[in-house]
Amino acid sequence: MNSEVEGQTPTAAPTVARKYAHTIKPGFTAVPWGPKDKIAASILKMGTVGAVFSAAFTGGRQQLFDSRPHYGTDSGAYGERVGADYARQSVQAMMNGGMSAILRDDPRYYVLGAGHSFKSRVVYAAERVLITHKDSGGDTANIPLLTGIVASQALANGIYPERDRDWARVATGSLGSIASRMGTQEFKEFGDDIRQYLRHKIKKN
C-alpha cells in the first residue's frame, strides 16, 4: 500500500504520513511497509502512552468492580491486572504485525473522510476489523487482526487465576474485543469531525 486507498477523498498534493503512523488520513500518502516495518510498528505501538493508559484504565475498572481477573483488591492486585492487560494487548499487536508481514497485508487504517456519506463511513469503519488492505492493492480477510485477538484472549485464559480460566470465555472475550475494535475504528474515522465540531461549539460560545 503506497498511497491513498480507493474511495478516500483525493487532494491535489498529498502529504507523506509519518512512517509508523497506524492511521492514514485523506490527503496523506502512506510510506510502504516491508515485513520488518510491520513488526517494528507493532513494537513501537506498545510503547506509546495510549497503550499504557489503556492497560491502566482497564486494570482500574476491573479493580473497582473486583471483576475478572480476580486477583484481589489490594495495590498488588491492581498491578497484576494492568500487567495482564498489557500482555494481552502486546500479544494482539505482535500477532497482527507478524501475520501481516507473512501474509503481505497492510494493517493500517485508511480514513475515508468527509467526502463520503455518514452511512458509508460507519459501515467502512466497522468492516475494517474483518477486512484489510493487501500490500498489492485490493482487500482481503483481516486474518492478522482476528488471529491476534483470539491469541490474546487465549493468553489471558492461561495467565488468569484458576477460577477465571474458561475456554468459553475465550470465545466471548474475542467477540467482545472485535466489537471494541469496531468502536475504535469508528473513532478513527470520525475523530477529526468530532474535534472540529467541539472546537466550533467552544469558539461559538
- Asked whether the predicted pLDDT for residue 9 surpasses 90, the reply is no
Contact 96, 148 (CB under 8 A): yes
**137 lies in some domain:** yes
**112 lies in some domain:** yes
Task: Give the C-alpha separation, 91 to 24, whole Å.
Answer: 23
**Interval 18-37: pLDDT, tens:** 999 999 999 999 999 999 99
**152 lies in some domain:** yes
Residue with cell 477486512: 131
**91 lies in some domain:** yes
Cell numbers representing residue 25 in the block: 488520513
**159 lies in some domain:** yes
Task: Give the C-alpha separation, 114 to 193, whole Å.
Answer: 8
**Interval 124-142: pLDDT, tens:** 999 999 999 999 999 999 9
**101 lies in some domain:** yes
How many domains, the chain? 1
Contact 8, 125 (CB under 8 A): no
Residue 173: give the domain boundaries. Answer: 15-204
Q: How far is CA 167 from the centre of its chain?
A: 23
In 3D space, the residue among 193, 146, 155, 132 whose CA is nearest the CA of residue 174 turns out to be 146
